[in-house]
Structure 1
Amino acid sequence: MEGKNSYFQLVHKEDGTYLKVYPAENGGEKVKYDVVVAYFEQINLTEYSPKEINTALLLAEKEPQEVKITEKEILPEDERVLVHVELDKSKATGIFVAPSSKGKQMSKQDVIDSLVQAGVRFGVKDEAIDEFLRTREYSKEFELALATSAVEGKSAVITYHFNTDLNTKPKVNEDGSVDFHHLDMINHVNKGDVLATLDPVDYGKNGIDVCGGVIKPKKVVAKVLKHGKNIHLSEDGCTMYSDVDGHVTLADDRVFVSDTYEVPADVGVASGDIEYEGNVEVKGNVISGFKVKAKGDIIVNGVVEGATLIAGGQIILKRGIQGMGKGVLEAKGNIVAKFMENCKVITDGEITTDAIMHSDVIAKGSITVGGKKGMITGGNVRTTANITATTLGSVMGTQTNLTIAIDQAILDEFKQVEERLEQIEEEQKKLVEILKICAKKKMTGTASKEVVQAEQTAALKAKQLQAENQKCSLRHKVLKMEIENYKGGRIKFSGSAYPGVKVTICNSTLYIKNETVHGQFVRDRAEICTSNL
C-alpha cells in the first residue's frame, strides 16, 4: 500500500484556533514547515508561534499533535490548494490543504477556479484533479497543469556534391620526388549532374505554457540554393543541376558552373596539368613540361614553351609558341598563333600565324602565314589544301619542306581496307573447302554430329564474311575515288622563295634552286610549275 503523507488542519474551539497535525502513514512524508507558513499567508493568519508549529510537526509521528495558534476563533476555512507555477511556466503543481474543522471541501470547479486565480489557463490535467477528489490526499504535490512544449525545428542543410575544398598540394611519387603535374584543382561536371541538394528548414511548432503564453522553438537557420548561370533548380528548389559540361566552383555560398576554365596565371607548378571538359583560358604562360587538354577551345594569353596543348576545338595563342623542340599543339579545330617555333603542330582545321620556324606542321585545312614577316623557315609543313605565305625558306638556304598531299589518314585507311579484303578472300577459300568436305561426308552417310556442327559453323562464318566483304568493298571504292580525284592545292608566296625549299604536291617534287619572287607553285599533270600570282 502506498504511503500517505502527514497533513494538517485548523480546528475551531471555544478557547481559540488550533493547528492539528496528522501523522504520515506507511512511510509517507512529513508536512514541511514552509507549506504550513504558505497556507497561513494565504488566509492572512499572522498570530502564530513558529517554534510551537515546528514542535507539533516533529512530534506528529504516531499520534496527531495539536498546538494552539491564536486565542481568537477565526472564520471557517474551506479546503484549498496551494498552487505553484514554475518560473518557465512549464507546469503548475498544487498541494491541497484540508478544510478547517468547520470548513467545506472543494469541488472540481473550485480547484479549476483556484488555478485560474493563480494564472493557470492552459494544460489543466483533469485526471490529476479527479485523483485528488477521489483520494483527498493532503500535503502531496499534484501536477495540475502541464505546458505543451514547442516542437523543435531544424536548420536547413545544404549538401554539395562536389569537392568544395580543393587540394593544391602536389603528389609525392614512390621515389620521393614531387609531382607538380597532377594537382586536384578542377571540379569537372557533366550536363545533368546534381551539384547540390537542400534539406529544407523546419521551423518547428509553437508550444503553450500553463499561463497561455507562447513557447517558441529555438531559432533555426533558413537557407536556399544559390547559383549563377548554366544551372537550374528542381521545381521544389531542393536540387541543383548543371546545364553544361564544365567545372563547378563555390564562392560566397553560391555555386557557379562555367564551360570555360580560367587559369589566372601560368600553367606550371602552381596549377599542375590542366584537363578540362570545356574551354580553357590561360591568362599567363604555359611552362615547359606541362600539359593543357580541353574538350573545347584552348586560349593562351601568354607564351607557350615546351608544353603540350591538346584541344577538341580550336587553339588560340595570342603570343605564340617557342617549343624548344618539345612543344606540341594538337587540335580538332583551327589553330591561330602569333608564331610557331621549334614545335610540332597537328590540326584537323586551318592554321593562321605570322611565322612558322623549324617546326613540323600538319593540317587538313589551309595554312596561312601572314603578318609583317609571313615566313615559313625550316622544318616540315604539310596540308591537304593551300599554303599561303610571304617568305618561303631563308637567304641562308635553310632546308624547308612544303608538302600538299591527300590526308595520310585516308591513305592509311585505304591500305587497311585493301589488306582486310585480301584476308577475307583467303578466309572464304578455306570455308569453301570445309563446306565441300562436310557435304561429301553427308552424301556418303559418314557425317558425325561434329561434322554437322562444323558445317553449320562454317556456313554462319561464310555469311558474316560475305556481309563484311560487301561493306569493305564499298568503302574501298569510296576511298579509291577520293584518292584518284585529289588534285592537290597550291603554294602562294608574295615575297621570295629561297633555295633550300622543297615543294611536294601529290607525287611531284620541285627543289628551288634560285630565288623566286611573287609567285605560286601549282601541279600541272606530273610536274610542279611556277606561275605568277
Structure 2
Amino acid sequence: MDDTGIKREPVIRISNDRMEAFIMLPTVEEEYHYTVDEVLEAVNRNGVIYGINCETISDMVEKRLMGREVLFAKGKPAVDGADGYFDFYFDSDLNHRPTVKSDGSVDYWSVHSVEVVKKGQTIANYCEPVAGEDGIDVLGRVIAAKKGKGLPPLVGRGFDKSVDGLTYTAAIDGKIERHKNRIIILPILEINGDVDVGTGNIDFVGDVVIHGSVKTGARIRAAKSITIDGVCEGCVLEAGNDLILRNGMIGMGKARIIVKGNLFAKFMEYTDVEVDGFVEADSAINCNVVSNDKVIFNGGHASIVGGKVYGCAGIEVQNLGNDAFIKTEVHVGVHKKIKIKIAELEKLVDQKQMLLNNINAGIKQIEQMMGSAADGMNLEEKKLALVRAKIEKTAELTEDKEELERLKGIVERSTGATVQVLEHVYPNVEVCINNSKLVTKEEFDKIEFKEKDKAVVMLSMK
C-alpha cells in the first residue's frame, strides 16, 4: 500500500507446470504509475528468473496495461531424445498363406515364404539414438530430458557390418530370416530355367526356388522349402519345410510329393502326396493325399474328384466328386497307419527303457566291484562299453519318444474332425470318419459330415 491506500504491488501468477509466468498490474489512478524496476523486483520476489521478456514488461509499464494478465516469461521445454532403431531393407513379415481374390479364386503367387537377398545388398541401417536436450522452467529448475537408448548390434551370420557399425550388407546370396535382432542368411538354390533329367537331380541343404517348370523324371529334395513357379510333371519332390506349387502338378501316375511342412498347390492330378502339415489347393484329381493336419480346397470351384484324400484334422472342400459319379474317397480322424505306428512305438519305447535300466544297473554293479577287484583294467573296459551303449540307447529312446509325442499330437488334432462340403457333394462319394463310413447315393448341397454314435451323419449347412 502507498500513502493513499492504493495497492500497487504487481500480481505474479505461475502456471502449474512452472513453464509460464503472468503478471497483472493493479489499476491505479492516473497520477500514479509503475516503474520497470518496481515490476522486476516483484518478479524477483516471486522467484521467476528464467525466460523473462523485459520488453513485454517495459511495454506494460509504458502503455499502462493494467487490470489484465500478460504472459511475460516462458520456460524452455525439455526435448526428449530418440531411441536408436534399425531400418530393414527386406520383407520379414512373409505371407505364408495364399490370398483369396474377389472372384473367389486363390492366388498362389501371393504365398511368400522365402525372402532372397544378393551379396553386397544393404539389408539394414542403424540410426543412432538422439541424446535429447534438458529444459528449464521459469523458476530456473532444470527439466531432465529423456535420454535416447541405443540398441545392441545385430547378431547372426551371413552378413557384414561396416566399420562404423551402422550399415549391414549381405555377405552371400541366400535366404534371409529375422528374429528380433538376429539375422541369418542361409544358402539358397535359385534356378531360373526348367529342371529335367538332363539338369540332374537336386539334393540341397537349404531352400530351393525354381522359376521354371520341373519335367518328368526329375527329383528335387530340399532340407528346407521348395518353391516352383512353373508346372510340375511326373516328378518327385521332397521338402523339409513348405512346398509351394504355384502352377500345380500333372502327376501322370509317376509323381510323388513328400512334405514335412505345409503344401500349397494350384492343382494336383494323379499324384501321391504325404504332408505332415496342412494342404491348401484348388483341386485334386485321382490323387492319394495324406495330411496330418487339415485339407482345404476352397478356391472358386475347388474340388476333390477320384482318388483318396485323408485329412487328420478335417477336410473343407467346395465340391466333392463330380457329375460322372467317379468314386471319390475322403477320410478324416485318426488314420489306421498312425494307430499302428503309435502301438509299435509304445512297445519299442518300453523295450528300450527296460534295456537302458539294465545298462544303468550293470554300470552301477561294475562301479561297486571296481574298488575290491584285482582286475580293475578289465572292469574299466566293461564299464566303458556299457557307457557307450547307454549313450546310444538314450539317443534312440529320446528320438522314439519325440516321434511318439508327434503322433499323439496328430491323434489329438483329429478329435472332432469333420468333412465340410461348401457347394455340392455327388453320388458315389465315400466319407470315412475314424472307423465309420457312409457312401452317398444322391447329390446334396452344403453338407457337413460328422461322426455320431459310431456312424457318419449328414447335417445341412444352409
TM, length-normalised to structure 1: 0.44
Give 1 or 2 for the bigger CA radius of gyration.
1
TM, length-normalised to structure 2: 0.50
